[in-house]
Structure 1
Amino acid sequence: MADRFVPPATLIIEIDALIQSIAVDAQAMLAEWREWDIAPGFQPCAQNLADYLALRRHDLRPLQRALMRLGLSSLGRLESRVVPALITVRAALAALNGEIWRAPVDDDTFFAGDARLAAAAEALFGTARHTRSAALMVTCPTEAADDPAFMQHLAARGVEALRINCAHDGPAQWERMIAHARAATLPGAPPMKVFMDLAGPKLRTGKIRAHHHARHVFTGDRIAIVAPDAIDCKVPADVRFTVTCTLPEAIAAAAPGQRLLIDDGHVAAMITAREGPMLLADVVRTRDKGIKLRSEKGINLPDTALAIPALTAADRAALAFVAKHADGIGYSFVQNADDVAALQAELARLRPHDWDRMALVLKIETARAVSELPEIIVRAAARQPVAVMIARGDLAIEIGFARLAEMQEEILWIAEAAQVPVIWATQVLEQLVKEGMPNRGELTDAAMGARAECVMLNKGPYLLEAIDWLDTLLGRMEHHLHKKTPQLRPLASWA
């Protein structure tokens, strides 16, 4: 059945009601956020984010269809300009209804959100030096500390940003990496920006004890999860493996009926019982041939509310170096606005006069961080330059692989509404970086990274080749797509 034609006068009433509803709901959000003393430069961004969140409480699909029928914007690309877009659509409806056309907002106002986002990206990553507008961020391997040529290759390829992972190496190696990066700066070019990732709380497997001569864990097996010092504790007779967890607080917080994932989800289990400080879990999915449990593999508890501070003692120790040498900080496993406040307080202690000039990269890695993303962004960006990293590795395990594609889109929308840059990260061109040849799926994934302001590559033997591929790929895709908006350049294939 064809859609019913809705006259412009009726749609004007609907748009007016929508604008009024957004104003009320957005004001309530802003009232809560204002306690964070939002800097003047971010206030219009916070306003637009509140407007967007208020808008997305409504099901707009019927309105979109009616607007499309009249040849008007379907409101599907208004993330950076919520109220100006609605007002402009209303003006067009009024003109169709017989009123004299009057442009409701000028060009600068209509595109102000795009300009703020572009300026924020340039401030964080520098001016793009190749044909692409998306910046490149490269993870430094340990060898970069003693190989000046590595940084020279990156500078020659126009890489804008470096990522140093504080979970590896130490201050001596970090200092040499940064010195090599500064020395590699090309004449007339800005130096590469240096971002240093804090390690965050490590929820990992520790010692592992096999029972009944077991060598691999299979679906249907029972495992016991215990504190680091309890590897030799007595376990039920049907347990095949005892696994220690590096964070005892996680064991205390978990409960029967919650999921337990080990080694990037290769072992999926359900917690079935607690016996004192011990968790018992039944393996519900793994490879048919089984998995060998190993130490230092990640543990995820996606259903468990973990009251674990994102800023650990090790992070606080690393911050003394980071605050002195880095352009920005990668905040691992940030989960709420209080985590942001804790880091900002520590930065203010270390750099009391200009801590708010340091960029803060919010690494979104957990289901809780997703649910509290608007508050996390506003609490951070209220005081300092901010970017959001879609850390798709841990995030996929936390929310499920089936939801990752949907969620990375929504994070892109929220960040654009807040007018903060996005870093597209984790496993970008991973097979190419590791083996020298990409697969088809990862090329498509990397192409979609053109919607972000920065794309991150991890370390590997074919990293330089991957940079060359990505440079070309992003440059081509940006002629076709900007955020959610197709760019209708001529199609040469059918000319």
Structure 2
Amino acid sequence: MKKVFLNELFERLLDLKNKMTLDVDQKNDNVSLQNMKYYLNLRKYDFSALQDDLTKVGLSSFGRSQAHMEASINVALEMLSLALKKELHPAKIHLSYEDSHAMMDKNSEIFSTSADKTKIMITVPSVYDTKWFHNLALEGVHLFRINTAHDSPKSWKMMAQEIKKASSEDTNLKIYVDLAGPKIRTTLKKSKKSGKPKKIKLFCGDKVLIHSATSSISTKEIKHCDAIIGCTLENIGSLVSVGDKVFIDDGKIELVIDEILNTDILCTLLTDNKEGSKFKDEKGVNFPNSNITIRAICDHDKKVLPHICEYADIIGISFAQTPDDIVDLIDELERLGKKGSISIVAKIETKKGVENLPAILEALIQYGNSGIMIARGDLAIEIGFENLAYMQEEILDLCTAAHMPVILATQVLENKMKTNIPSRAEISDVVFAHKAECVMLNKGDYEVETIKTLTTILKQMDLVFRKNKLLYNPSFQWK
């Protein structure tokens, strides 16, 4: 190898290190926060050509160095200085390779202290057999999720008691409780005969008036539309703009806003379904193009927190969009005397949550005892399905840089869970899920069979899996 090339590589690497440390407080004793800022700095620039050149001379390309950026670059500089017989006096590194991985392992213990690399979480159904928890724990489930968007405080407490019964000295099951958050949903009028909400069928081009469930509708507004759909979001008209898209029922129904009528919105149905689109009650509504600012910890959450703090090991913040949402929950936990003793997981499920992820991670790092959930259901709608694969990779890498454990959620082995027959695509999805510290399964009739399949794949991947080299290029989200 020519000395000129090695010398040039050495200089480029020094430049890389200078860019990495720019505007980062070197006296900050929080190594996770410092390392995350190093990583964010590096991702502002295109270093993919340097990565290739480092590989040519047998050095690390830093493609798997997110958790210990400074240590990896220092090692490469030392190797080059030895080859060039140059003197190098690097400052003492703040975080070694070994310490960073030990920190990642320690932080992931919020999900379980099990030796399994990837932990398994499953959602508790409203109706279950008393042996359900014990049987699933034997198959490899590490923690159980209670969803406060359904059932009651009495039901949640009974679930928690059953989980504790299924725990033993060998299997310390964790209880994860999801706060419902300000979920935006449809509200349809009930039929006078059945007392149940009516289902509305509409076709492409039909006009739909979406209004706040608490507001009144004028006769003029009714004349404009083919159907009226209620929505739990108040003052919708003041939060959106003409031309914004609206998605209902996990993205199955797409509309565009044509007109703002005071607090309501008039939309055109864009979904072209020959059999018509069915609007149902209690279905999620997404406004991915709109800048809707809602605090994640709503009044309902504040009411249930005293109940769930009695048994929760982890509390999930639904709809987390800003660091203020993290602070709001911390303040509530402090008020209840539970600050620090209960772990926090921020669910990333909106475009704003993605944009503010570095700041959200900073708030979580400062709290400690924290994690992130990639809630792929709403997130796919918010950022576009075609962008989900790229974005979940970016989120995982940034969380690794912050030493933040991650739960991958939504549709993991969903067909297997519902029909006992997995699709080929969802088997491959589990290979990706292996990168996360925890995988979440939803409810279904074939839990035991699904968990057996999941644990088999995860153990196989433990033997062969290595992350692909990450390319440091300008396509990065948080420039």
**Same fold by TM-score greater than 0.5:** yes
Give the drift of 1:73: 1.6
Q: Does 1:140 align with 2:127?
A: no
- Checking the alignment, whether the CA contact within 8 Å between 2:31 and 2:95 is kept in structure 1 is no
Give the drift of 1:124: 3.4
Match of 2:37 among 50, 53, 57: 50
Amino acid aligned to 1:198: L
Q: Which residue of 2 aligns with 1:222?
A: 207
Match of 1:12 among 1, 10, 13: 10
Other structure's SS at 2:18 match: helix
Give the drift of 1:93: 2.0
1: CA distance, partners of 2:211 / 2:110? 46
1: CA distance, partners of 2:134 / 2:68? 40
Q: Structure 1 pair 151/9, CA: closer, same or farther in 2 (3 Å)? A: same
- Checking the alignment, whether the CA contact within 8 Å between 2:140 and 2:455 is kept in structure 1 is no
Amino acid aligned to 1:290: G
Q: Structure 1 pair 228/420, CA: closer, same or farther in 2 (3 Å)? A: same
Q: After superposition, where does 1:51-90 map in structure 2 within 5 Å?
A: 51-90=38-77
Q: After superposition, where does 1:163-242 map in structure 2 within 5 Å?
A: 163-186=145-168, 188-207=169-188, 216-230=201-215, 233-234=218-219, 235=221, 237=223, 239-242=225-228
Q: What's the CA shift string for 1:59-108, capped at 9, x where partnerless? A: 11121122222222222111001111111111222233244899998998
Q: Which residue of 1 aligns with 2:421?
A: 437
Count of aligned pairs: 461
Amino acid aligned to 1:240: D
Give the drift of 1:238: 5.1
Q: Does 1:26 align with 2:33?
A: no
Other structure's SS at 1:292 match: strand
- Checking the alignment, whether the CA contact within 8 Å between 1:198 and 1:330 is kept in structure 2 is yes
Q: Which residue of 1 aligns with 2:292?
A: 306
Q: Structure 1 pair 430/6, CA: closer, same or farther in 2 (3 Å)? A: farther
- Checking the alignment, whether the CA contact within 8 Å between 2:256 and 2:269 is kept in structure 1 is yes
Q: What's the CA shift string for 1:366-390, capped at 9, x where partnerless? A: 0100011111111122123111111
Q: Structure 1 pair 483/180, CA: closer, same or farther in 2 (3 Å)? A: farther
Residue range with higher mean Cα deviation, 233-242 or 296-305: 233-242
2: CA distance, partners of 1:6 / 1:111? 33
Q: Which residue of 2 aligns with 1:493?
A: none
Q: Does 1:459 align with 2:473?
A: no
Amino acid aligned to 1:110: Y
2: CA distance, partners of 1:289 / 1:323? 47
Amino acid aligned to 2:313: D
Residue range with higher mean Cα deviation, 406-415 or 442-451: 442-451
Residue range with higher mean Cα deviation, 132-141 or 241-250: 241-250
Q: Which residue of 2 aligns with 1:389?
A: 373
Q: Which residue of 1 aligns with 2:194?
A: none
- Checking the alignment, whether the CA contact within 8 Å between 2:256 and 2:268 is kept in structure 1 is yes
Other structure's SS at 1:302 match: coil
Amino acid aligned to 1:120: N
Residue range with higher mean Cα deviation, 44-53 or 228-237: 228-237
- Structure 1: unaligned runs, 5 residues or longer: 35-39, 487-495
- Checking the alignment, whether the CA contact within 8 Å between 1:124 and 1:359 is kept in structure 2 is no
Q: Which residue of 1 aligns with 2:233?
A: 247
- Checking the alignment, whether the CA contact within 8 Å between 1:377 and 1:386 is kept in structure 2 is no
Give the drift of 1:163: 0.5
Give the drift of 1:148: 1.6
Q: After superposition, where does 1:320-399 map in structure 2 within 5 Å?
A: 320-351=306-337, 354-399=338-383
Amino acid aligned to 2:18: Q
2: CA distance, partners of 1:462 / 1:449? 20
Q: Structure 1 pair 241/208, CA: closer, same or farther in 2 (3 Å)? A: farther
Give the drift of 1:123: 3.9
Q: Which residue of 2 aligns with 1:114?
A: 101
Q: What's the CA shift string for 1:252-302, capped at 9, x where partnerless? A: 201112111111111111112112222112222343432111111111001
Q: Which residue of 1 aligns with 2:475?
A: none
1: CA distance, partners of 2:389 / 2:14? 34
Residue range with higher mean Cα deviation, 477-486 or 111-120: 477-486
Give the drift of 1:111: 2.4
Amino acid aligned to 2:290: T
1: CA distance, partners of 2:107 / 2:249? 36
Q: What's the CA shift string for 1:308-350, capped at 9, x where partnerless? A: 1111111001111121211010110010011111111011001
Q: Structure 1 pair 69/325, CA: closer, same or farther in 2 (3 Å)? A: same
Q: After superposition, where does 1:98-109 map in structure 2 within 5 Å?
A: 98-99=85-86, 109=96
Q: Which residue of 1 aligns with 2:195?
A: none
Q: After superposition, where does 1:232-311 map in structure 2 within 5 Å?
A: 233-234=218-219, 235=221, 237=223, 239-311=225-297
Other structure's SS at 2:22 match: helix
Give the drift of 1:392: 0.3
1: CA distance, partners of 2:260 / 2:166? 56
Q: Structure 1 pair 181/454, CA: closer, same or farther in 2 (3 Å)? A: same
Give the drift of 1:433: 0.7
Give the drift of 1:240: 1.8
- Checking the alignment, whether the CA contact within 8 Å between 2:203 and 2:277 is kept in structure 1 is yes
Q: Which residue of 2 aligns with 1:492?
A: none
- Checking the alignment, whether the CA contact within 8 Å between 1:205 and 1:299 is kept in structure 2 is yes
Give the alignment's Cα RMSD to 1 decimal: 2.6
Other structure's SS at 1:325 match: coil
Other structure's SS at 1:479 match: helix
Q: Structure 1 pair 485/8, CA: closer, same or farther in 2 (3 Å)? A: closer
1: CA distance, partners of 2:305 / 2:351? 26
Q: Structure 1 pair 356/6, CA: closer, same or farther in 2 (3 Å)? A: farther
- Checking the alignment, whether the CA contact within 8 Å between 1:360 and 1:386 is kept in structure 2 is yes
2: CA distance, partners of 1:209 / 1:127? 48
Q: What's the CA shift string for 1:170-210, capped at 9, x where partnerless? A: 12111111111111224x31420001000000201112699
1: CA distance, partners of 2:137 / 2:380? 32
Identity rate of aligned residues, in percent?
33
Amino acid aligned to 1:403: N
2: CA distance, partners of 1:114 / 1:58? 26
Q: What's the CA shift string for 1:137-173, capped at 9, x where partnerless? A: 11101123xx320111022123111100011111211
- Checking the alignment, whether the CA contact within 8 Å between 2:32 and 2:365 is kept in structure 1 is no
- Checking the alignment, whether the CA contact within 8 Å between 2:235 and 2:263 is kept in structure 1 is no
2: CA distance, partners of 1:429 / 1:189? 27
